[in-house]
Amino acid sequence: MNELLAIFRRELGGYFATPLAFIFIVIFLFTMGAFTFYLGAYYESDQADLTIFFNFHPWLYLFLIPAISMRLWAEERRSGSIELLLSLPVPLWAAVLGKFLAAWAFSGIALALTFPMWITVNYLGDPDNGVVLAGYLGSFFMAGGYLAIGSCLSAVTRNQVIAFVVSVAVSFLFTVSGLPIVTDFFASWAPQQVLSTIASFSFLTHFEAITRGVIDLRDIVYFVTLIATWLIACGIAVDMKKAG
């Protein structure tokens, strides 16, 4: 537990030691605002809620989260510091979890800094703040999902660009697996059971359910399971590299 905390603190501090954190947060907030107000025509919608705002989250995460996660392990491998990390008395799970939690906390900080949106909507109208909170919660869990995927894929390569591109691709599949782009491919031949299973992997489906203000345990369980699965895969990937 000490080791987990030490790694968490180091990693989180690492984001702020370089301009990375600043640049990421600025761009995150800027695109978030631009998408919501221009692309999403927030004012014209005349709705005092944050549905439009949240609807852009999966698509923004799709590209921004792999930018955080790509360095998690690939960077350690490239710089050689992984040899230091893995020869320290740190259990593998603590290293994997510590890195992931730090990245998740960082994305949580970026998300929390969108609070002016919440102030705006409360100023303009009278939204259901429970629904808004649920949206934030859902968005946070979804970010965790993308991060876990990216973390695992970062562990299989020392090249950050590869880690980024593959993470975006895999994240994209997980994002849209409920949409026709994926389901149509299976619809003609796969049984309905398989189809709905594939669709149930979709981030969008689960996220939209939460943003409607219904925090269904199943949606939370979905994201937690997804995160756990990808982190275990990440641990296995790191361990396999040890075996050479």
Burial of 95 (0-12, 13-18, 19+ CB in 10 A): buried
Give the number of C-alpha atoms closer than 13 A to the C-alpha of residue 43, restricted to the C-beta side: 4
Q: What angle do CA 134, 140, 143 make, to 5 degrees?
A: 140
| Residue 88 makes contact with other proteins by CB under 8 A | yes
Helix crossing, 203-211 with 129-155: angle to 10°? 160
Instruction: Supply the minimum distance, in Å, between the C-beta of residue 1 and other proteins.
Output: 10
d(CA 72, CA 154): 6
Query: Residues 99, 11: contact at Cβ < 8 Å?
Result: yes
Interface with other proteins (CB under 8 A), residue from 30, 38, 43, 93: 93
| Residue 19 makes contact with other proteins by CB under 8 A | no
Which parts of 96-125 interact with other proteins (CB under 8 A)? 96
Instruction: Supply the minimum distance, in Å, between the C-beta of residue 93 and other proteins.
Output: 4
* Amino acid identity at 102: A
The one segment of 34-42, 125-133, 214-222, 230-238 that binds other proteins by CB under 8 A? 230-238
Instruction: Supply the minimum distance, in Å, between the C-beta of residue 64 and other proteins.
Output: 20
Interface with other proteins (CB under 8 A), residue from 41, 84, 187, 194: 84
Residue 120 vs residues 25, 53, 57, 116, 126: alpha-carbon distances, Å: 19, 12, 18, 6, 10
Interface with other proteins (CB under 8 A), residue from 29, 52, 86, 173: 86
* Residue with Cβ nearer other proteins (70 or 82): 82
* Residue with Cβ nearer other proteins (7 or 131): 7
| Total residue length of the chain | 244
| Residue 239 makes contact with other proteins by CB under 8 A | yes
| Residue 18 makes contact with other proteins by CB under 8 A | yes
Residues that bind other proteins (CB under 8 A): 2-3, 5-7, 9-10, 13-14, 17-18, 79-84, 86-93, 96, 231-232, 235-236, 239, 242-244
